[in-house]
Amino acid sequence: MGKKVYIKTYGCQMNVYDSGRMLDILKPRGFEPVASADGADLVILNTCHIREKASEKVYSDIGRIRRAEKPAAGTPVIAVAGCVGQAEGAEIMRRAPSVELVFGPQTYHRLPDFLKTVERQRAAGKRARVFDGDFPVEEKFDQLPKIHQAAGASAFLTIQEGCDKFCTFCVVPYTRGAEFSRPVDAIESEAQELAAMGVCDITLLGQNVSGYHGAGEKGDAFGLGALIRRLAEIPGLERIRYTTSHPRDMDDDLIAVHTEVPQCMPYLHLPVQSGSDRILAEMNRGHSADQYRDFIGRLRSARPDIALSSDFIVGFPGESDDDFQATMQLVRDIGFSQAYSFKYSPRPGTPAAERKDQIPDSVRSERLAELQAELNRQQLEFNMAAVGRTMPVLLDRPGNRPGQLVGRSPYMQAVHVGFPGAGNMEEPTHPDIDAAARSPYSDRIGRLMMVEIMSAGPNSLEGRPADHFSETAA
């Protein structure tokens, strides 16, 4: 009988990619993915350590799974993977005796061996205790199997991992290890496999994709721009994005790629963290606020419609009101289509966590609220500017309303597409599941469609097919 695995993914897109690759390893070994820990034989928590809240959730989830266990159904193997596993492996083993397997982001290709060891230890009548916190990143990519199945028209592809930048607030250099770029041919084959499975939209992933420097076939180094140009030659790949970049490595070639490669989407997530030069220096970011403004200015001259996203941290140790206001000024100067903002969270082992001048939580919360109000205002303004325009939308799932489909604009906005006449259909009993099945338009999922944007809200756009009448007449 087949075994069941439940994988819960926390945190960033790279974890989403890693969870998919774990399934690629487990499926040929008889594991079927299930949607809950209930009745699963193996539960993998693929964790995130970036902020305190992210890692706390893991311990409460372990407790919940433990309590829900039904001894008669057999005890599932609980595994903690990802960055909490890497950073706190020994502590998890101590604090959570129900966890039998812990491994970091760089060793999941060893899962089959881990599971054998767990079985062996269980057969000897003990709860297993297996921990691997190694960093063999090159070996991992060499040993991962081929991708089995794409989940839809959009996919992530990891091209680079790890980070050598050591921002003083960040755990990534400790949990993901040193920067490593996958060779060009490995990335190209994976992109070709994805395209052959119907993927037309890929996001190239890495902690520092803009620092990509993978080896080409002749041993020559490729930058991110050269890699994107190469991937754009793959038939069927219509949209290429990349994330996350660092302002320090953004260069003119990337600007040129945004103007010359039609598949390169007009959207860039470029974290700036702060608008204060003093704080940027203390964060060890390696650039000033004006250098960021200057890069964005050059990018916008070349590609005026580019949508910009960023990450911000408020309440970094020592951040004064003036420093925070410099961040607000930068936000007003640039204008973002969307952004992520966080209260500074001291992470064990990072230099900033040791500082005595931590900012009280009440101040961090106030600053976050002020920043988010401005970012939300900008996001709504950006969305409103789309009303009346017609743009290509990649439809990727059914919406909640009958006949409605949801997709992404070139600028990463969620777009709800209603089809004229679809509202006359019978109300579905289970909107999520039945809407697609009943929609005469469900065959459009996974395809690009020109959509006329009719209205906009803070988080999404509403539109209708621009070519509806000509298409349905055919």
Binding residues vs ligand 5AD (CB under 6 A): 50-51, 169-170, 271, 273, 311, 313, 342, 344-345, 347
Residue 429: strand, helix, or coil? coil
26 versus 170: smaller Cβ distance to ligand SF4: 170
311 versus 452: smaller Cβ distance to ligand 5AD: 311
Taking CB under 6 A as the criterion, the residue among 43, 83, 167, 386 binding ligand SF4 is: 167
Taking CB under 6 A as the criterion, the residue among 166, 377, 432, 457 binding ligand SF4 is: 166
Asked if 122 touches ligand SF4 (CB under 6 A), the answer is no
Task: State the alpha helices, DSSP H only, in 105-183.
Answer: 111-123, 137-143, 172-175
Rounded distance between C-alpha atoms, residue 443 and residue 440, angstroms? 7
Asked if 393 touches ligand SF4 (CB under 6 A), the answer is no
159 versus 172: smaller Cβ distance to ligand SF4: 172
7 versus 209: smaller Cβ distance to ligand SF4: 209
66 versus 165: smaller Cβ distance to ligand SF4: 165
Name 397's bridge partners. 406
Nearest to 340 by CA among 3, 54, 102: 54
Rounded distance between C-alpha atoms, residue 173 and residue 196, angstroms? 34
| Partner that binds at residue 246, options ligand SF4, ligand 5AD, none, CB closer than 5 to 8 Å by kind | ligand SF4
Asked if 340 touches ligand SF4 (CB under 6 A), the answer is no
> Please, what's the b/e burial string for 437-470 (b: 16 or more CB within 10 A of its CB; e: otherwise)?
ebbebbebbbbbbebbbeebeeebbbbebbebee
Query: In the numeric block, which tokens belong to residue 311?
Result: 């990450």
Q: Number of residues in contact with ligand SF4, rule: CB under 6 A?
A: 10
341 versus 439: smaller Cβ distance to ligand 5AD: 341
Asked if 246 touches ligand SF4 (CB under 6 A), the answer is yes
Q: Which stretch binds ligand SF4 (CB under 6 A): 75-83, 165-173, 298-306, 313-321?
A: 165-173
What amino acid occupies position 351?
P
Shortest Å, Cβ 341 to ligand SF4: 14
In which region does residue 420 sit, left (phi positive, over 0), alpha (psi from -120 to 50) or beta (all else)? beta
Query: In the numeric block, which tokens belong to residue 435?
Result: 């809407």
Shortest Å, Cβ 341 to ligand 5AD: 8
Q: What is the CA radius of gyration of the chain?
A: 23
Shortest Å, Cβ 244 to ligand 5AD: 7
In this structure, the chain runs to a length of 474
Q: Which stretch binds ligand SF4 (CB under 6 A): 18-26, 75-83, 166-174, 321-329?
A: 166-174
Residue 117, burial from CB neighbour count under 10 angstroms (0-12, 13-18, 19+): middle
Backbone CA torsion sign across 376, 382, 387, 392: negative
| Partner that binds at residue 173, options ligand 5AD, ligand SF4, none, CB closer than 5 to 8 Å by kind | ligand SF4
DSSP strand pairing (31-33 vs 3-9): parallel
Q: Which stretch binds ligand SF4 (CB under 6 A): 17-25, 160-168, 230-238, 411-419?
A: 160-168
Taking CB under 6 A as the criterion, the residue among 118, 147, 157, 163 binding ligand SF4 is: 163
Shortest Å, Cβ 12 to ligand 5AD: 7
Asked if 170 touches ligand SF4 (CB under 6 A), the answer is yes
DSSP string of 316-385, one letter each residue: -TT--HHHHHHHHHHHHHH--SEEEEEE----TTSGGGG-S-PPPHHHHHHHHHHHHHHHHHHHHHHHHT
45 versus 171: smaller Cβ distance to ligand SF4: 171
Shortest Å, Cβ 1 to ligand 5AD: 41
| Partner that binds at residue 228, options ligand SF4, ligand 5AD, none, CB closer than 5 to 8 Å by kind | none
Angle, helix 321-334 to helix 361-384, in steps of 10 degrees: 10
170 versus 453: smaller Cβ distance to ligand 5AD: 170
Nearest to 41 by CA among 91, 5, 84: 5
209 versus 313: smaller Cβ distance to ligand 5AD: 313
Rounded distance between C-alpha atoms, residue 100 and residue 116, angstroms? 12
| Partner that binds at residue 50, options ligand 5AD, ligand SF4, none, CB closer than 5 to 8 Å by kind | ligand 5AD
Task: State the alpha helices, DSSP H only, in 166-239.
Answer: 172-175, 184-196, 224-231
Taking CB under 6 A as the criterion, the residue among 107, 203, 207, 413 binding ligand SF4 is: 207
Asked if 223 touches ligand SF4 (CB under 6 A), the answer is no
What residue ranges bind ligand SF4 (CB under 6 A)?
163, 165-167, 170, 172-173, 207-208, 246
